[in-house]
Chains A and B, each alone.
Chain A
């Protein structure tokens, strides 16, 4: 790996964080901070710096998109345009596009939802073309007002302070070559500082290998001509009417802002500060693979400890000295504790907070309001709850869907709410809490609640419920999770296609979690219980077709013994009546494509009752093993995802055992017979 490749990989990893900060700033602009110069400046600098570094690494698409976004912020901070809904939407879409290009560059899966870069850029250009207005009322020959608008608030304040101190203000304009501008630039600054102060610099985008730089300077007027003599050739001094630019008297400026000779320029053309630099203080960026590697090593340590336990038991049985046995056992327990602490600490490294995900939901609410014309606010709680990085990634889409659903289906429009005596602005709330091993996530709203009458009507219409049947609310509630079911007659931009809640439930189930829809006195609540970490799991060992497998304990409802006479048949499938419900029965050996063991007669067979997202399945196995903690490993990067296999773990004897994916056992592919393996 070359140095450039390494730098590029580091930059791409950092860009994830940059985009998160970017998203946060655009969220704030959308929340009414569109005139906040700090936010605008930071967003501009982020776009500007992203553009520069992307260009350096040859990331042409990201460079062009960043440039388009930079143009928007530039127009906004120069007050040449207002932040219209269209521009705000384009800023969000631009971040999406950057995310997608970044994902492609880092070899991650791309969902293809974002606008392609060229379309995004065309839309931004078109939007700017009809919203940007040329500055009015400025003296044509005085560039100061335009330049001041491009400076940071603190820079502007230092100019104001200089005006208050009766110093003359000028703009020194010079052209610099793109390559090797540093020395002439430093020479210019040195010459200015010898007679006055530099308050800030503003540069134009480079063209034909050079760029124009304008420094706002202050000093005594008689020294201006001297500058011409000592500065680089092509430098021009333009005296400005600063009093016109600052008609108000200067507020008492803090001493640090007062213009004085020797004050270093605050905005020399340097890369924009990394937006999250402050947030990263005291933190260390670690590649996920390295943490996973540590985890794997830990897995080996746990396995070695298990082997030691087994060997120790055999040796201790032969040791007559009771005291020594006790001491040895205490040492083993101590080692166990230490390993457990090490495991907890390593797992903690993979944990990330929910803050970024919750910020994304703010945008979801805003967009849903724009589409539906409703008014809503998002209230979040538990941003600091931490989950394994992979779980947070897997939860993002389901949560976005639930929040969008809450606005679209849950909340009423303003008029209806006001008529019902509610606040015209609805509330969508998202909260997270954890009890350590499992985390509860709730998405709710203060809307009208589930419309069971409408659900029933629709269910009857599509034949899910008989015309004369009125099932209880619990059954109707379950219908909204059926694939393809929707109460809407027509699909809208946000929902109504009946695609979504079933996918949400599946995604939560994939994480080993459960999801429930609850009725409340006001509104609706979706509650999810998910594991906090995926890397270590409790699992049940089973055997089928002569081989061991593990089933995640989160999907195991109970274990039973089943005799052939207990089984009934329904729709050509064996079923077992459990708690008054017919539950399908499948043989794990057959699902794995192996032959059934010859049972011969009424022998009872062990079985596992799996429960997943409200569904149940009786899984016949050859033998039930014990429940234990396993270290979950992937099947390796050289293999594609294998249906039915969630991962692997290692036994203390070094054997690899597959961890089955319970969701795939519910909806399996046809078994692959052993003889077809060719």
Chain B
């Protein structure tokens, strides 16, 4: 990791998934849900864990580890999800919610590109109790077309 010029970070909502600590900027988080059943969808990429009902609508649930080339969970699990993204929200799989980190708690290690209308969001930050890997909702959702397996 190459230290870069520290940028003013935003408050972060942290969560753990398979032992790794992740975070979204607080402005990206819509809701932290209780345990919900996730239904897998046949013919879709593995990073789409499935779909679930949330506030009267159906939303996709994604596994951020799949983007990071890490091992994913078994589908059809009862999971906690963090609902992120506006105006089309989606769920991100998590094991447990963590605490909210304020800018003062964080020391950016690796700078990210400044998001439009916002300050720079560091990709990796150090808090008093360890490292936090920061996620961007758009990057987690990625190109939605790749969620469906190509027809052969």
A interface residues with partner B (beta carbon < 8 Å): 293, 296-297, 299-300, 547, 592-594, 633-645, 648, 650, 653-658, 669-670, 672, 676-678
B145 and A640 contacting across the interface, CB-CB below 8 Å: yes
B90 and A636 contacting across the interface, CB-CB below 8 Å: yes
B60 and A636 contacting across the interface, CB-CB below 8 Å: yes
User: Which of B44, B57, B145 contacts A296, CB < 8 Å?
Assistant: B57
- When chains A and B are docked, how far (Å) is the Cα of A507 from the Cα of B140? 35
15 additional A-B residue pairs with CB within 8 Å, beyond A636-B88, A678-B46: A299-B56, A592-B42, A636-B51, A640-B144, A645-B41, A648-B39, A650-B53, A650-B58, A653-B37, A654-B53, A656-B38, A669-B151, A676-B149, A677-B44, A677-B46
A643 and B148 contacting across the interface, CB-CB below 8 Å: yes
Of residues 21 through 66 on chain B, the ones whose CB sits less than 8 Å from some CB of chain A are 36-46, 48, 50-53, 56-60
B90 and A638 contacting across the interface, CB-CB below 8 Å: yes
- When chains A and B are docked, how far (Å) is the Cα of A566 from the Cα of B100? 63
Provide the residues of chain B in CB contact with A669, threshold 8 Å: 43, 151-152
A-B contact count (CB 8 A): 97
Chain B, residues 92-116, CB within 8 Å of chain A (1/0): the string is 0000000000000000000000000
B58 and A643 contacting across the interface, CB-CB below 8 Å: no
- When chains A and B are docked, how far (Å) is the Cα of A634 from the Cα of B58? 7
B interface residues with partner A (beta carbon < 8 Å): 36-46, 48, 50-53, 56-60, 76, 85, 87-90, 141, 144-145, 147-149, 151-152
B85 and A638 contacting across the interface, CB-CB below 8 Å: yes
Q: With CB as the reference atom, state the residue of chain B lying closest to A545.
A: B42
Given contact pairs A592-B42, A654-B37, A654-B53, A639 touches B151 in the complex (Cβ within 8 A) = no
A638 and B37 contacting across the interface, CB-CB below 8 Å: no
Given contact pairs A636-B51, A670-B152, A658 touches B36 in the complex (Cβ within 8 A) = no
Provide the residues of chain A in CB contact with B148, threshold 8 Å: 640-643
Provide the residues of chain B in CB contact with A650, threshold 8 Å: 53, 58
Given contact pairs A638-B85, A640-B147, A656 touches B76 in the complex (Cβ within 8 A) = no
Q: With CB as the reference atom, state the residue of chain B lying closest to A633.
A: B58
- When chains A and B are docked, how far (Å) is the Cα of A523 from the Cα of B10? 72
Provide the residues of chain A in CB contact with B45, threshold 8 Å: 677
B43 and A593 contacting across the interface, CB-CB below 8 Å: yes
A655 and B88 contacting across the interface, CB-CB below 8 Å: no
Provide the residues of chain B in CB contact with A672, threshold 8 Å: 42-43, 149
B56 and A297 contacting across the interface, CB-CB below 8 Å: yes
- When chains A and B are docked, how far (Å) is the Cα of A677 from the Cα of B45? 6
- When chains A and B are docked, how far (Å) is the Cα of A25 from the Cα of B102? 62
Q: Nearest 5 pairs between A and B by C-beta?
A: A296-B56, A638-B88, A592-B42, A637-B88, A656-B39
- When chains A and B are docked, how far (Å) is the Cα of A657 from the Cα of B53? 10
B56 and A644 contacting across the interface, CB-CB below 8 Å: no
25 A-B pairs, CB-CB below 8 angstroms? Answer: A293-B56, A297-B56, A593-B42, A594-B42, A635-B60, A637-B87, A637-B88, A640-B144, A640-B148, A642-B41, A643-B151, A644-B43, A645-B42, A650-B53, A650-B58, A653-B37, A655-B39, A655-B53, A656-B38, A656-B50, A656-B51, A658-B51, A669-B43, A669-B152, A678-B46
Provide the residues of chain B in CB contact with A676, threshold 8 Å: 149
Q: With CB as the reference atom, state the residue of chain B lying closest to A544.
A: B42
- When chains A and B are docked, how far (Å) is the Cα of A640 from the Cα of B44? 10
Provide the residues of chain B in CB contact with A656, threshold 8 Å: 37-39, 50-53, 58
- When chains A and B are docked, how far (Å) is the Cα of A669 from the Cα of B151? 6
B41 and A636 contacting across the interface, CB-CB below 8 Å: no
Given contact pairs A635-B51, A638-B90, A300 touches B56 in the complex (Cβ within 8 A) = yes
